[in-house]
Each structure stands twice: as structure tokens, then as C-alpha cells.
Amino acid sequence: MLEIKSLGYWYQSPDESLFNDVNLKFEADQTYAIIGSSGAGKTTFLSLLAGLDQPKAGEILLDGQALTQIGLTAYRRHQVTTVFQSYNLLPYMSPINNLLTALAITESQHKGDVAYAKQQLQQLGLTDDQMTQNVQHLSGGQQQRVAIARSMCCDARLVVADEPTGNLDETNTEAIIALFQKIAHEQHKCVIIVTHEANVAAACDQTLKLSNGEFEWVTQPA
């Protein structure tokens, strides 16, 4: 589904490349963990996959089409969705309105559909009362559920998440990772998670380690 070809990236100069000539494939129906020491370049790599930045060398293809060909704005709007450690919900709004905003921005077929937004939140364990509160009044685990519901309600087949459980306790971490597994396996999405947590990586289908600019499969893809 997603193919990385001869990818290279640096911030200041090519002599300081974070990674070079990276070739990888990511498939639907799978969850991937990306691990590696702090500063290795995991977030940078994820931002390239999310179309938030452009490679300095090589290319990224979705179903054989280069992201530059699709157009980064169209790619971000329709093909990829991002979940962050800090949830990045719209403050002062309810979970329902957060989802409705995302549905409008992505021009989803469910645009304006309150019942659909409610159903998505309900599936992730939000109560009717929680759905209508200001999101800032919810716990971290509840806010991350809203963020994931928001990522699920859009039609994007690729979900990238940067330390999505970084602010959560063990119980919420397990629940959130189980949700990502469900999204990948039942909705046929490709989920790529950057994490520092060994238990999160262990719960994913595949693990990729970034170290000294090289990516290495810790568990080989089948």
C-alpha cells in the first residue's frame, strides 16, 4: 500500500542525513511500531509519511502513485490521518463537534451527520454525557479515544500515530493499542505507530527499529 523508495532526509545539510536510501513497504491490515532512541528521526520519518514534509531524496508512493503526484494537500485530506501524543483536539468543543469538523474538512460522505459522529464515539466507549462536554474536561484516555474516533471517522486508509500512549497509564495504553489493532484488522487500514514503549511495540504486528540512520525489521514482515 505505502512504498518508501530510496528515501533520504536531512534538516541542515546532506552530510547530516537522518536517514538515506531507505526502502520499505507498509501494507493494509497491519499495525507497525517504529522504535529507536531519542533523536533517531522517528518523528521526522512519520511526518514524511503523513505528508507534513517532503523527502530530500527519493519518494513515497501510495498504491504506486507518488505523493507529489497525488498532491500533499489532497493526500493529507483524504488518504492519511494523524494521531498525536497530545491528542490535538479542538479545545472548547465537544467530542461530537471535533468529529463533525474533521468530517467537514475531509469532505467525508458523513459530513454533518451527528448520528454518525455519535456512533463512532460510542464505539470507542464514550458516554452520551462525555460526547457533549468540552473535550478539556475529559481524561487523557478519553481524549485520546476522541482523537482516534476522529481518525477512524475519516476515510483515510493510513493512520500514523506519534507516541499515542505517551500520556496514558497502562490500562488506557492497552485499550488504545487494542483499538488500533481493531482499526487495522477490521477496517483494513495500515496503522504506523512511533513509540518508546516496549509493550506497545510488542502488541503491534510488525516492529521496525531506526538506529544510526538505518531501519531494521525486528520482526520480519510475512
Ligand X SMILES: Nc1ncnc2c1ncn2[C@@H]1O[C@H](COP(=O)(O)OP(=O)(O)OP(=O)(O)O)[C@@H](O)[C@H]1O
**CB nearer ligand X, residue 41 or residue 95:** 41
Amino acid at 53: D
Stretch that binds ligand X, among 41-49, 126-134, 177-185, 199-207 (CB under 6 A): 41-49
Least Å from the CB of residue 19 to ligand X: 10
Cβ neighbours of residue 5 closer than 8 Å, sequence gap 6 or more:
23, 58, 59, 60, 61
Least Å from the CB of residue 211 to ligand X: 10
Least Å from the CB of residue 204 to ligand X: 17
**CB nearer ligand X, residue 11 or residue 217:** 11
Residues in 42-71 that interact with ligand X by CB under 6 A: 42-44
Least Å from the CB of residue 123 to ligand X: 30
DSSP string for 146-160: HHHHHHHHS--SEEE
Least Å from the CB of residue 41 to ligand X: 4
**CB nearer ligand X, residue 96 or residue 161:** 161
Contacts of range 114-117, beta carbons closer than 8 Å, 24 or more positions apart? 116/153, 117/153
The closest of 127, 136, 44 to 87, measured between CA atoms, is 136
Residues in 2-31 that interact with ligand X by CB under 6 A: 11, 18
Give residues in contact with ligand X (CB under 6 A). 11, 18, 36, 38-44
